[in-house]
Amino acid sequence: MKQVITTEKQPIKLWLDDIEAGALAQAQNLANLPFVFKHIAVMADAHLGYGMPIGGVMASAEVVIPNAVGVDIGCGMCAVQTSLTSISSDQLKMVLARIRSAIPLGFKHHLKKQDKSLMPKSEVPLEQLPMVSREYQNARTQLGTLGGGNHFIEIQKGNDGHVWLMVHSGSRNIGFKVANYYNHLAMELNRQWGSKISPKWQLAFLPVDSEAGQTYLQEMRYCVEFAYANRLMMMERIKEALQAVAPPVFFEPMINIAHNYAAMEEHFGENVMVHRKGATRARAGEIGIIPGSQGTPSYIVRGLGNRESFESCAHGAGRKMGRKQAQRILSLEQEQERLNKQGIIHGLRSVRDLDEASGAYKNIDQVIDNQLDLVEVLVELRPLAVIKG
């Protein structure tokens, strides 16, 4: 932990020194909520979000806050170690071509609906989940698709000597629709109840024991499972592409983590709803993934179970500038040269792509150093080839 702020109703515990003003203000809003449990934890990659900073962790025994989960419910990482110890540039290019033909990128979907057996099973009948049931058929065309923004597929070389595969993606439009619906429902209900929490904070809540709160949690969990199914399908397509180009290849079991969700957990002797928004669970011995930015290392880590962070850690490098700011400020030539010098096959083609350049993100090594009380590094992975959404 780097610092503790004690000026608000509840403490704010930070794992970084240089938090931006907007993200700090959001953490202060959280710390002044009447139902916060113990303290607010702010991870090393924190930056401004909607309502709650990305990289924030908040617990409450009484309520769930849709904006403290975020719009890409269940967004997360998966990684697979392969038996390969080397792969040529020509082979990488062939693998990337196969991936692009098998996995729709950006806003693209499959032309045909995927088989229902590949969709998550619901805890309750689908008709009891209003948004999931409404979006279910559309979601079948989005299963196994990458999406845009900071989502990526990467082929990497680990310092363990093996080639690795990694995917970062989420719940696509079904998660977005669920998040927006329940955030607006919470806003309306809070208005009806005369909530004293300022609407400007964007932290409208639902009581956990209410019908609306329970339905949101059920729909949210479905979206978490959909995001997992989405990553799993993409990883299978990536493995098939690699197997076709560089056989024989054997694969270790997939590591999977989510970093946008809320879950009931026990902390400090009490059961509380832990919200992780751009934060990864890091229980003692739990294997996790902390990706870097395009052109920088990613890390396979083991959690240390630090109770002060609610057993959480950073979910990535974290942005240091907004998307439009990056496009205005960064040099395309310099960012391309940075990747080219490392021999990375990348998709940085135009100024429009600079929002996902390394220069737009924090130093991943500093992020890791700031949280060595939360995780231990097991494997460092350096990028060989990158596909961005």
Active-site amino acid positions: 315
Closest to 178 (Cα-Cα) out of 226, 141, 140: 226
Instruction: State the CB neighbour count (10 A cutoff) for residue 6.
Output: 10
Which residue intervals of the chain are DSSP H helices? 21-31, 89-102, 130-142, 172-193, 211-245, 323-329, 332-341, 364-369
Question: Checking phi first, is residue 324 left (phi over 0); if not, alpha (psi -120 to 50) or beta?
Answer: alpha
Q: What is the largest CA-CA distance in the chain?
A: 64
Q: How far is CA 305 from CA 44, 78, 310, in A?
A: 16, 21, 8
Task: Please say whether the beta carbons of 281 and 257 come within 8 A.
Answer: yes
Q: How far is CA 41 from CA 26, 275, 278, in A?
A: 12, 10, 12
Interacting residues of 356 by C-beta distance below 8 A, sequence separation 6+: 149, 150, 152, 293, 294, 348, 388
Q: How far is CA 254 from CA 233, 317, 370, in A?
A: 12, 22, 27
Residue 248, preceding peptide bond in cis (omega within 30° of 0)? yes
